[in-house]
Chain A
Amino acid sequence: MLSHLRTMWLVFIHLFRKKATIEYPEEKVVLHPRYRGRIVLTKDPDGGERCVGCYLCAVACPVDCIALQATEDENGRRYPDFFRINFSRCIFCGYCEDACPTYAIQLIPDFEMAEYNRQNLVFEKEDLLIDSQGKYPGYNFYREAGMDAGVKKKGEGVNEEPPVDVHSLLP
């Protein structure tokens, strides 16, 4: 009997507690920037595509829902010819973001991607690419990499010496 009364009392005082639920969708949920939601492809500070088509996200994906094909422009800059994520398979684990060496693929705090038709959950590059640097501003892979892909010349990148003079025998 005492336990019943105690339970009723506890339920009663909950009436005055702050609500844990919100009036979604009228009221939007506040998510942290590192929340693992929809996947996007970002751009570097110079406005170029960050993705270099290295296939690491695809191989890291435990459900194999990322498929892409790398190609390159006339300067030798790699970019994905197509980049496809099958969100009907995605488990939002974020491994792709962890694997990405260029900060291109990022998970953003947006989970509102429900569809009536499963086919609409297949996102292509034009659906994924956003005009923003996302969570990691200021990084351009081709400035750090050794190769010349039209972004910087050999020896002009971060931490690089000018190219070796092959004809020199000086130490």
Chain B
Amino acid sequence: MSTIYIDNKKYEVKAGKNLLEACLGLGIDLPYFCWHPALGSVGACRQCAVKVFKDENDNRGRLVMSCMESIKDGLHLSVTDKTASAFRSQVIEWLMTNHPHDCPVCDEGGSCHLQDMTVMTGHDYRRFHYKKRTYTNQYLGPFVHHEMNRCIQCYRCVRYYHDYAGGNDLNVFAAHNHVYFGREKDGVLESPFSGNLVEVCPTGVFTDKTLREHYTRKWDLTTAPSVCHHCSVGCNTIAGERYGSLRCITNRYNSQVNGYFLCDRGRFGYEFVNSENRITQPLIRNRPVEAVDEFVLMDHLREILTNHTLIGIGSPRASVESNTALMQLVGSQNFYQGISDNLGFIQKRVVQVMQSGVVKPASLHDIQQADAILILGEDCWNTAPVMALAVRQGVLKTAAEHALENRQLPAWHDAAVRELVQQERGFLANCTLAGSPLDEISAAILHKAPDDLARIGFAIANRLNTSLPAVQLDNDTSSKVAVIASALQQAKHPVIISGTGCYNEALIRAAFDIAAACKTTAAEVRLAYVVPECNSMGLAMMNASSFENAVLRASRAQQVTAIVLENDLYRNVPSNIADVFFNSCRHVIVLDSLNNATTQKADVLIPAATFAEGDGTLVNNEGRAQRFYQVYMPAQRTIQESWKWLLKMQATQTGITNETIYHPEEMLASCEQLLPQFSGISGSAPRRDFRVHGQALPREPHRYSGRTAMLANLSVSEPKPKQDDDSPFTFTMEGYSGMQPSLLIPFFWSPGWNSIQAVNKYQVEPGGELKNEQPGKLLFNYRPDAVPAYFKDIPEAFGVRREKWLLLPQYHVFGSDELSAYGHGVQELSPDAYIALSVEDASQLGVVDGSLLSIKAAETLYELPVRTMATLPNGVMLMPAGLQGMTMMSWNSWVQIVSIKL
């Protein structure tokens, strides 16, 4: 700690920071543009000037940029000094000489850092009477809108996009007072993290194009803390609604999970909520739509729920509450995971490994802090994009730490550190099936078939702990293994990343063996497994048996009523198996939010709430239980959370209708009771009666407009505000209007800070934890004394078969996720189906890019164009996973080519 004096007042601040961070951390408003807690300082905008004095007797002082000045013990500085504040307001006046008169039509308005800073410095009247500089705009794809006139040349976009996220197609062009930030020519931004430009840009150069289609100002949004549903990482988000439709997703800072950034799938994948494909009415087959209301529905359900064999199919994308409610309704022996057998088996292994408590789970924060990272068989760039971004930060940070050793240079000095680091990178080994953009920053790259990757994993484990069995590898591979093993050995806090992406269970075991073996040398080793969907881990932890058993059960039992919970079985299991299942069921009840192949089979279709319309808890890939809150009540009251429907069904079934209303926390408590492995999950969020000074928390900011007019077209008498019994939130702007506790932040706002940069007011220090942060509840407990039970069963080396190929999935950020694919933007960017082969295999077959190949998989014939992949090992065939309209393939099985059309 150091003592500094700001305007003659004594403060204790953390050493090693810069003055701007210190001032903001102390709650002092100091304007800035180019500095960002995640990007560091470059001193480009000259906005954060303060006066620094030699000692307490010095009264002249000198102007410095606070973001470029280290904290020194006993330092005297002044923020309110006349010269300093005049300097700051002049700088902003200069910036504004070219700023267009756009605020009324600019999407940033109302959440604009430039507006906030302009007001903060006091500049209010334009004195410059000459002409404004103008630029032409570029088309940057379906997500980001470009309006270059508004630029203030702070360089944040390039520093984020190029330096932080590793994108190569956005840069700065031209020179002098007419620099241009954009692409070389019009085109879609290549990085899947481009959406963060919207938040990084302090003004309206980059704005959210999906929001533009139904534009609403920040102050008019009804918002609630949410959790992203588009991959297993569980990034914290803020979802905003207006006039009954979801308008936008913004980042919700969580120091342990997503920090400042989201991927584009998470940010722009929300549009499925507003999709025309939504199920809004309960439907009973062969009955007219109008004839079915809740009464009729429950009457009908009473018939088919009693005296029938019930089979419940759980869902990896439904909340823990919903899955628990289904388990309660059908009984735990009748509850099945709605996923394929082999995936269920792999996930079971993941859960077993994580529950053993031998190795700590790695959060994204841990990955960012790692000094050596090994990715074993998971294409996390596509399956968990934000994790790949974290991997990149880990690599860059380690390189910076190496460069800064024995040097008098603070880590926040971004430009200088980059100059010093040059092309040095921390250690990353990318051992995956095929190439990914992470190869660019990897020190060791191995692209092999899954079994070979697992063997590499076991070989690394053997190097780290010689008591483990040795593996025979070729020379080239074993030299790389030696490099990886020695890097892991030298690391203090390595992270091992693996996952279910390759449908290979040996990879899970190998990753565990490496992590457990690392424990002997490294102080802190952490392990992360990527799982397919947002609550895959929660479902896997329920230990339900797999779908194949459900099929068996259904075929043997009579009078089966199947209840399918938010699960398109045709995406999760091969279609022929799903068909067999549905054919052997007498009645099929489906609860879902969107129409899909499974809902087509339903006899009773019940509309389920999406993440924006309901409450629930998700367990992310590291076992972190996080609550998402209802953003708004849908106009159709029949759209309810699945767990509410299931509880009603249970009451109908048992005949006990004592009108007890259940809430998420009671559902979680019964989940804990039913399944002790979930113990602690009910404490993952504040109780619904949580109040601050006796007041509930409003979902709407105090400037929310239009209350007395928005529904006046229906009736001029305003309806009673909607009540929320499930959470500490209100649906209005009434309630506690101060800083909300960390788990209950519906929007970041602080007086004078309307943009998302207000997050610094919620943090203990800029870029640090939130005040009183409770970043979700970890369900896997680390036990330091746990003895690792190593896996010694090593798979055979992968053997290429004659005229047969091992079919494996290739994931895509846009397209592989079910729900996000309903959005126009994501749809536009998702690839067309293809069959990928290695270059050698393709030339042996005599096919080139674009030739049509027919294969038969799961009794379906697919004729698709070929894509050759240079990084793909021979004998393996890739097909895009989860594209809309494609059924589930039997991954990790051998397929034959039926015909070739050149």
Q: Are B705 and A67 in contact (CB under 8 A)?
A: yes
Q: Are B219 and A66 in contact (CB under 8 A)?
A: no
Q: Are A154 and B712 in contact (CB under 8 A)?
A: no
Question: Closest chain B residue to A68 by CB distance?
Answer: B706
Q: Are B176 and A171 in contact (CB under 8 A)?
A: yes
> Distance (Å) between the CB of B241 and the closest chain A CB?
13
Interface residue tally on A, bucketed by range: 35 or more
Q: Are A164 and B135 in contact (CB under 8 A)?
A: yes
A109 neighbours in B (Cβ, 8 Å): none
A85 neighbours in B (Cβ, 8 Å): 709
Q: Are A64 and B705 in contact (CB under 8 A)?
A: yes
Q: Are B716 and A147 in contact (CB under 8 A)?
A: no
Question: Closest chain A residue to B131 by CB distance?
Answer: A161
Known: A118-B716, A147-B147. A154 touches B174 (CB 8 A): no
CA distance A146 to B146 in the complex (A): 13
Which A118-171 residues have a C-beta within 8 angstroms of B? 118-119, 121-122, 124, 141, 144-149, 154-155, 159-169, 171
Q: Are B104 and A67 in contact (CB under 8 A)?
A: no
User: Is A72 positioned at the interface, with any CB of B under 8 Å from its CB?
Assistant: yes
B715 neighbours in A (Cβ, 8 Å): 119
The interface-forming segment of B16-24, B95-103, B448-456 is: B95-103
B137 neighbours in A (Cβ, 8 Å): 148, 154
Choice from B100, B134, B704, B706 contacting A164 with Cβ under 8 Å:
B134
Which B619-653 residues have a C-beta within 8 angstroms of A? none
User: Is B161 positioned at the interface, with any CB of A under 8 Å from its CB?
Assistant: no
B129 neighbours in A (Cβ, 8 Å): 159
Q: Are B716 and A86 in contact (CB under 8 A)?
A: yes
User: Is B217 positioned at the interface, with any CB of A under 8 Å from its CB?
Assistant: yes
Q: Are A66 and B705 in contact (CB under 8 A)?
A: yes
Q: Mark B91-119, 1 if CB is under 8 A from A, else 0.
A: 00000000011111100011000000000
Q: Are A55 and B101 in contact (CB under 8 A)?
A: no
A155 neighbours in B (Cβ, 8 Å): 134
User: Is B407 positioned at the interface, with any CB of A under 8 Å from its CB?
Assistant: no
CA distance A148 to B833 in the complex (A): 38
User: Is B321 positioned at the interface, with any CB of A under 8 Å from its CB?
Assistant: no
B704 neighbours in A (Cβ, 8 Å): 64
CA distance A162 to B220 in the complex (A): 36
Q: Are B104 and A121 in contact (CB under 8 A)?
A: no
CA distance A88 to B134 in the complex (A): 45
User: Is A106 positioned at the interface, with any CB of B under 8 Å from its CB?
Assistant: no
B663 neighbours in A (Cβ, 8 Å): none
Known: A58-B705, A61-B705. A101 touches B716 (CB 8 A): no
Q: Are A66 and B174 in contact (CB under 8 A)?
A: no
Q: Are B709 and A84 in contact (CB under 8 A)?
A: yes
User: Is A108 positioned at the interface, with any CB of B under 8 Å from its CB?
Assistant: no
Which B160-187 residues have a C-beta within 8 angstroms of A? 173-176, 178, 180
A67 neighbours in B (Cβ, 8 Å): 705-706, 709-710, 712
User: Is B10 positioned at the interface, with any CB of A under 8 Å from its CB?
Assistant: no
Q: Are A146 and B132 in contact (CB under 8 A)?
A: yes
> Distance (Å) between the CB of A31 and the closest chain B CB?
26
Question: Closest chain B residue to A122 by CB distance?
Answer: B712
Q: Are A84 and B176 in contact (CB under 8 A)?
A: no
A159 neighbours in B (Cβ, 8 Å): 129-132
Q: Mark B698-714, 1 if CB is under 8 A from A, else 0.
A: 00000111111110110
Q: Are A166 and B180 in contact (CB under 8 A)?
A: yes
Question: Closest chain B residue to A144 by CB distance?
Answer: B101
> Distance (Å) between the CB of B226 and the closest chain A CB?
23
CA distance A100 to B95 in the complex (A): 24
Q: Are A58 and B706 in contact (CB under 8 A)?
A: yes
Choice from A78, A86, A145 contacting B100 with Cβ under 8 Å:
A145
A63 neighbours in B (Cβ, 8 Å): 708
> Distance (Å) between the CB of B32 and the closest chain A CB?
24
Question: Closest chain A residue to B707 by CB distance?
Answer: A64
Which B132-155 residues have a C-beta within 8 angstroms of A? 132-137, 147, 149-150
Choice from A101, A147, A165, A169 contacting B149 with Cβ under 8 Å:
A147
User: Is B662 positioned at the interface, with any CB of A under 8 Å from its CB?
Assistant: no
CA distance A100 to B132 in the complex (A): 23
> Distance (Å) between the CB of B732 and the closest chain A CB?
11
User: Is B690 positioned at the interface, with any CB of A under 8 Å from its CB?
Assistant: no
Question: Closest chain B residue to A117 by CB distance?
Answer: B716
> Distance (Å) between the CB of B293 and the closest chain A CB?
28
Known: A146-B132, A163-B136. A65 touches B708 (CB 8 A): yes
User: Is B215 positioned at the interface, with any CB of A under 8 Å from its CB?
Assistant: yes
> Distance (Å) between the CB of A80 and the closest chain B CB?
11
Known: A69-B243, A146-B132. A64 touches B214 (CB 8 A): no
Choice from A54, A66, A160, A171 contacting B105 with Cβ under 8 Å:
A54
User: Is A102 positioned at the interface, with any CB of B under 8 Å from its CB?
Assistant: yes
Question: Closest chain B residue to A78 by CB distance?
Answer: B105
User: Is B212 positioned at the interface, with any CB of A under 8 Å from its CB?
Assistant: yes
Q: Are A66 and B134 in contact (CB under 8 A)?
A: no
Q: Are B175 and A169 in contact (CB under 8 A)?
A: yes
> Distance (Å) between the CB of B637 and the closest chain A CB?
22
Q: Are B134 and A154 in contact (CB under 8 A)?
A: yes
Q: Are B132 and A160 in contact (CB under 8 A)?
A: yes
A86 neighbours in B (Cβ, 8 Å): 708-709, 712, 716
Question: Closest chain A residue to B219 by CB distance?
Answer: A59
Choice from A68, A101, A148, A161 contacting B133 with Cβ under 8 Å:
A161
Q: Are B103 and A154 in contact (CB under 8 A)?
A: no
Q: Are A119 and B716 in contact (CB under 8 A)?
A: yes
> Distance (Å) between the CB of B116 and the closest chain A CB?
16
User: A71-B214, A85-B709 provided; 6 other pairs, C-beta below 8 A?
Assistant: A59-B705, A61-B705, A69-B214, A119-B716, A122-B709, A122-B712
Q: Pick 26 A–B contacts, CB within 8 A, sort by A.
A: A52-B104, A54-B104, A58-B220, A59-B219, A63-B708, A64-B706, A64-B709, A65-B709, A67-B705, A67-B706, A71-B214, A71-B215, A85-B709, A86-B709, A89-B708, A118-B716, A141-B104, A145-B100, A145-B102, A147-B149, A161-B132, A161-B133, A164-B133, A164-B174, A165-B174, A167-B174
- B-binding residues in A (CB < 8 A): 52-56, 58-59, 61, 63-72, 78, 84-86, 88-89, 101-102, 118-119, 121-122, 124, 141, 144-149, 154-155, 159-169, 171
Q: 9 closest A-B pairs (Cβ-Cβ)? A: A146-B100, A67-B706, A54-B104, A67-B709, A58-B705, A146-B149, A164-B178, A67-B710, A64-B707
